[in-house]
Amino acid sequence: MNRREKILKKLNESGLDGLLFASGANFQYVVESNSYFWQRYCFNLDEPVAGARIIPEAMVYLNKEGKSTILTTPLLKEHFDTTLNDVVVSYMDQFEDELTKIIDGKKIGIGRDCEAWFRKTLKVKLIEVEDIFYDLRRIKDEKEIALMTKLGKFTDDAVMYVCKHLKPGMTMFDVERMIVDYGLQNGMADLSFPPTCGFKTRNTENAQSIEPFENDRKLVEGTMIAFDIGYMDRGYCSDWGRTVYVGRAPELVKKGYEALQVGETYMLSKIVPGVTKFGELYGFICDKVEELGYYDYLRFKRDETGGNGHHIGSEVHELPFLVPGDELVLQPGMIFCSEPKMFFKNEGYMRVEDMILVTEDGAKFLTNFPRDLFEIEL
């Protein structure tokens, strides 16, 4: 069953007359576009700023017979496959009139993107169906898997490039600028989120707490750099984390990073598709890290609901998040991020984050930056 057939099956099961999505992840999923489109804030000068309306640059209506119609601006028309979708061109100030002509149902499913604008504009019954589409988007098809595999490798390569070009005296902003420049100069469309290359230098006030990072701190020996970066290509995201230490790291810190990596690979080995629950995964990491004697250094403990992971796709953070007790059973085609972290007071903060694909018989990493690369010399 292809993507469009899966969507129509859900649509007909729901009893809705059609689906209407504004620019965003669900829109992209329906139209199968290689580009990512945004929404614009439109202000009415007679109203307070808080009353700004968010209007999409493009929207799609799919009826239960399978006909899809895209409404967009002249500038964006060429981005869409006209063999799969009808395309109606208009200007944003005329969207309301054109949309009314397109809608042929009385009970329409919508997502959360531009929901307020739709509810104000349309005189039909609107049902929010965001959760249905999270379910559909959670299982990636072959094309999506290939794209996200490529994104994982690209992100590995980007940070390897940066590590080879670090110089004494660089600031956190300098390193983050390298991350941005490498992506945009080598074919990425955008960033998944603003990158963080957090500096913590041992035996300084900066290393007494996890946050904040100091943007103007200079890179010197004894600095730990915690990377959290991601790129976007053809509407899909990567999310990646590793840590490097400038110079020779104290044994406690070095062994701690090894424990994080061992915990991550152990968790991967425990995944059984159709059996393992998403909420069990961080517990596997904690079990192994505790066995190695580093449990007390984990930023989040076994039963805490911190930022330990999430699903990923056309949005960098997709539901559900990796929290204890989540009952979602892992299935082939799911891609998620696991991101355990440690903090050593007076030494620094470290993180590992991988994109992981659930396969037919287990799981595999889509991010394969060397797990033994920690200490680097400038």
Domain ranges of the chain: 3-137, 139-376
Choosing among 3.90.230.10, 3.20.20.60, 3.20.20.70, 3.60.20.10, the CATH entry for 139-376 is 3.90.230.10
Q: Is the dihedral of CA 288, 294, 296, 297 positive or negative?
A: negative
pLDDT grade for 38, boundaries at 50, 70 and 90: low
SS3 sequence of 80-123: CCCCCCEEEECCHHHHHHHHHHHCCCCEEEECCCCHHHHHHHCC
Buried b (16+ CB within 10 A) or exposed e, 283-308: ebbbbbbbebebbebbbbeeeeebbb
Which residues make Cβ contacts (< 8 Å) with residue 167, sequence separation at least 6?
Answer: 219, 378
pLDDT at residue number 119? 87
Q: Provide the residue count of the chain.
A: 378
Predicted confidence (pLDDT) per residue in 14-35, tens digit: 999 999 998 888 888 888 877 7
Cα diameter, the chain: 68
Average pLDDT value for residue range 210-236: 93
Task: Give the chain's mean pLDDT.
Answer: 91
Within a 10 A sphere around the Cβ of 68, how many other Cβ atoms? 20
If one compares 50 and 264, the residue with the highest pLDDT of the two is: 264
CATH dotted code for 3-137: 3.40.350.10
**What percent of the chain stands above pLDDT 90?**
71
Q: How far is Cα 272 from Cα 297, in angstroms, rounded to an integer? A: 28
- Distances 280 to 210, 227, 228, 260, 320 between C-alpha atoms, Å: 26, 25, 24, 17, 13
Predicted confidence (pLDDT) per residue in 316-341, tens digit: 999 999 999 999 999 999 999 999 99
Average pLDDT value for residue range 92-106: 85
pLDDT grade for 43, boundaries at 50, 70 and 90: very low
Domains 3-137 and 139-376 share a fold: no
pLDDT at residue number 118? 87
